[in-house]
């Protein structure tokens, strides 16, 4: 979905750890020291500066899209990793660590690791006394050659953490090439958390109401880089006593359909019983639908499909999503076919997302058009469950679009209900720190 909309919770300003005295990790500032290691309770965070190499900076200024690193341990199933490490027991032990945000290359490679007993108590009973020896660690390092087999400091580094008043927590991750990507932990009622994941650095879809769309697309993320967001989020939830992550939404930065192969692989690992162990019904992939075929492609993933529609009328949709090349009828036909090709169970659930903007698409006329647009999906797909998510616009620092009134949103919702369309209003979370739906965009200066 152009990185943007189902996010809704997000961000900043309050780091609750007590960092080492020499670290430059601040609650409201950025890291400035290069490769500074500071032990944070149970694991090393590799804190790097935001400085991008001259080569990378030139590449960005010239508009050249960079490439993501190749597949590594995070993107491997237990069986695939077992072949590399020389045994399934080793692979299971490595994944026991990854799944709770512990880097096995660091944990088993550092004999002085602090709180090792506490970490082992989190592992399955049968593997608490096991270890990865030098041979396995050497083989693991071959997968991430850039930093001794480590996810932390290898695939990505935790560059900044910020927290909103509602505990929505945004993580800024620095990738190996110096680019940065955001992911957001959204706690709900102290019971569970949703993680909003990014699939690209920037986005090329150019939705006019979305901060990420203004960045353009710098590059797609590898499946390892996508999954590293879950790795770091699990770590932060554990250290900061945030509720467990039970839901994933691909609604952060980027358009998943423009990086379908890596998104599908990431979903496979997220829903694997031996990896991150999420239910497929709890993973949602949202797309703006660049063309009708993307629904069938993304339906290969173990996930629920969501479509960022924003307007049912072609002229208005083109205004909001200027990269649109197909009519709404053509795109809807693609979604219907993709749903029909799926088993008649929860996977036929589909979400229709609408970012409501005052005096743009929040009138009862647009509600009627949306109801008429949705009805054929329900009628033509047996066993389907259609949910319309209404998302009040979040300010991105421009004058064109405004947040709708609560009365307009409620009237829009009621109008859909009266026509037999279930509609849910997405609660805005993290907007006080520019972390709500549509507000994600890394703020890297072009002359860095």
Catalytic positions, written as ranges: 182, 437
Three-state DSSP at 346 gives helix
Structure tokens at 27: 């609650």
Three-state DSSP at 44 gives strand
First to last CA, the chain: 28
For residue 250, the surrounding DSSP H or E stretch is strand 245-250
**Cβ-based neighbours of 199, under 8 Å, separated by 6 or more:** 3, 220, 221, 226, 250, 252, 253, 254, 255, 256, 258, 259, 262, 263
**DSSP 8-state assignment for residue 427:** P
CA distances from 193 to 97, 163, 405, 437 (A): 20, 14, 28, 16
CA angle 207, 198, 56 (to 5 degrees): 90
Indicate if the alpha-carbon torsion angle 61, 63, 64, 70 is positive or negative: positive
CA distance 85 to 71: 15
CA distance 203 to 210: 10
CA distances from 98 to 102, 172, 303 (A): 5, 19, 21
Helices then strands, counting H and E runs in the chain, come out as 13, 14
**DSSP 8-state assignment for residue 342:** S
Rounded to whole angstroms, the maximal C-alpha distance in the chain is 67
Structure tokens at 60: 């960005």
Chain centroid, CA 359 distance in Å: 30
């Amino acid at each position: 979905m152009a990185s943007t909309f189902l996010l809704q919770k997000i961000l900043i300003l309050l780091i609750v750890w007590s960092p080492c005295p020499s670290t430059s990790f601040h609650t409201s500032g950025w890291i400035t020291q290069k490769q500074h290691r500071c032990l944070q309770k149970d694991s090393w965070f590799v804190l790097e500066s935001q400085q991008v190499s001259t080569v990378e900076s030139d590449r960005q200024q010239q508009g050249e899209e960079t490439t993501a690193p190749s597949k590594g341990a995070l993107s491997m199933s237990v069986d695939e990793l077992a072949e590399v490490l020389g045994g399934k027991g080793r692979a299971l032990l490595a994944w026991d660590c990854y799944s709770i945000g512990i880097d096995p290359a660091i944990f088993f490679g550092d004999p002085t690791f602090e709180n090792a007993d506490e970490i082992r108590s989190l592992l399955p009973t049968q593997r608490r006394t096991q270890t990865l020896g030098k041979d396995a660690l050497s083989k693991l390092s071959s997968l991430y050659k850039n930093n001794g087999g480590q996810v932390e400091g290898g695939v990505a580094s935790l560059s900044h953490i910020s927290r909103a008043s509602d505990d929505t927590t945004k993580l800024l991750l620095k990738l190996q090439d110096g680019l940065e990507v955001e992911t957001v932990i959204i706690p709900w009622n102290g019971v569970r958390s949703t993680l909003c994941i990014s699939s690209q650095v920037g986005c090329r879809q150019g939705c006019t109401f979305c901060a990420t769309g203004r960045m353009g697309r710098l590059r797609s993320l590898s499946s390892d880089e996508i999954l590293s967001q879950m790795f770091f989020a699990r770590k932060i939830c554990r250290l900061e006593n945030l509720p467990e992550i039970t839901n994933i939404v691909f609604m952060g930065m980027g358009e998943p359909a423009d990086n379908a192969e890596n998104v599908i692989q990431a979903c496979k690992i997220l829903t694997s019983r031996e990896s991150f162990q999420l239910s497929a019904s709890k993973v949602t992939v949202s797309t703006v639908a660049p063309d009708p075929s993307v629904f069938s492609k993304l339906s290969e993933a173990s996930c629920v499909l969501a479509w960022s529609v924003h307007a049912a009328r072609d002229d208005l949709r083109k205004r909001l999503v200027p990269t649109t090349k197909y009519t709404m009828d053509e795109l809807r036909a693609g979604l219907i076919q993709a749903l029909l090709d799926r088993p008649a169970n929860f996977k036929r659930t589909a979400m229709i997302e609408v970012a409501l903007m005052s005096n743009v698409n929040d009138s009862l006329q647009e509600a009627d058009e949306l109801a008429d647009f949705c009805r054929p999906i329900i009628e033509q797909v047996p066993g389907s469950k259609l949910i319309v998510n209404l998302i009040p616009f979040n300010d991105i620092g421009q004058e064109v679009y405004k947040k709708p009134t609560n009365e307009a949103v409620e009237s829009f919702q009621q109008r859909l209900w009266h026509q037999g369309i279930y509609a849910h209003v997405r609660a805005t979370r993290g907007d006080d720190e520019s972390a709500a739906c549509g507000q994600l965009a890394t703020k890297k200066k072009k002359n860095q």
